[in-house]
Amino acid sequence: MIPQLVPLMKFIGQLIDFSKEEADFFTQHISIKQYGKGSFLLHENKIAQCIFFINEGITRNLVTTPDGVEHTQYFSQENTFITEYASFLHGTPAIYGIQCIEPCEVAIIPKQSIELGYLHIKEGNKLGRLIAEAYFVQFVRNAHERQTKTVIQQYEDLEKRFPRIHQRVPQHMVASFLGVTPVHLSRLKAQYKRP
C-alpha cells in the first residue's frame, strides 16, 4: 500500500474491521492527487463521480448565485471525507462546488471502489453508507447551529472545529460562512478576544 493511503485506511479502520486482503482489494482503484490553491475538486452542476478523503489541506463547499456571488457553505480539513453526496448517490448535477483553499493532497475513491467494497468487506459492512451517515450527521449539526446559535457562538464553534482557521482561510470566506460582512467579522473577532 502506498504511504499516502495510510491516513485513509487508518480512518476507515475506526469505522469498520477489515483484513489486509480486503484493504488491498478496496484500495486498488484509489488514486492520490495534488490540487493547487483555488483548484476545484468538484464544480457546481457537474456530477460527482467519487468521494475525496483529504490527507492535507482545507477545502470549502460553495454555492454561486446567478449574479456571481459566492457563498461558503462549509469547510473541510484533514482526515475528512467530502463530495456532493446527493450528486454522488443519484448521478444528479452537484448543487455546490468544492474548492481547495490551500494546496491539497486527496485520496480519490471512485464509486466503483465503494460499490465493490460493499460486496467484499466481511459482515456486510457498508462503507459507503457509513461515510454518508457521517456526512449526514455533520450536515444536520451544521444546519441546527445556523438556526439556533448566534453569530458569535458559531464563530467560537468554528474556531474549535478548525484550529488556526484564520491563518488558513481568507477572512471573506469565513465571513461568508457566518453570513456576515468581513467588516462585521472584524468587529466580532475584536469582541471575541476581549477579556
Domain ranges of the chain: 3-146, 149-195
Residue 16: the pLDDT is 76
DSSP 128-182: HHHHHHHHHHHHHHHHHHHHHS-HHHHHHHHHHHSTTHHHHS-HHHHHHHHTS-H
Residue 173: the pLDDT is 94
Residue 123: the pLDDT is 42
Query: In this structure, are residues 5 and 30 in contact, taking their beta carbons and an 8 Å threshold?
Result: yes
Residue 115: the pLDDT is 64
Cα–Cα distance, 167 to 63 (Å, whole number): 23
Which residues of the chain, if any, have pLDDT below 70? 1, 114-128, 192-195
Q: Rounded to two decimals, what is the model's pTM?
A: 0.86
Residue 124: the pLDDT is 43
Sign of the torsion angle spanned by Cα atoms 118, 122, 124, 127? negative
Residue 117: the pLDDT is 55
Q: Which CATH class is domain 3-146?
A: mainly beta
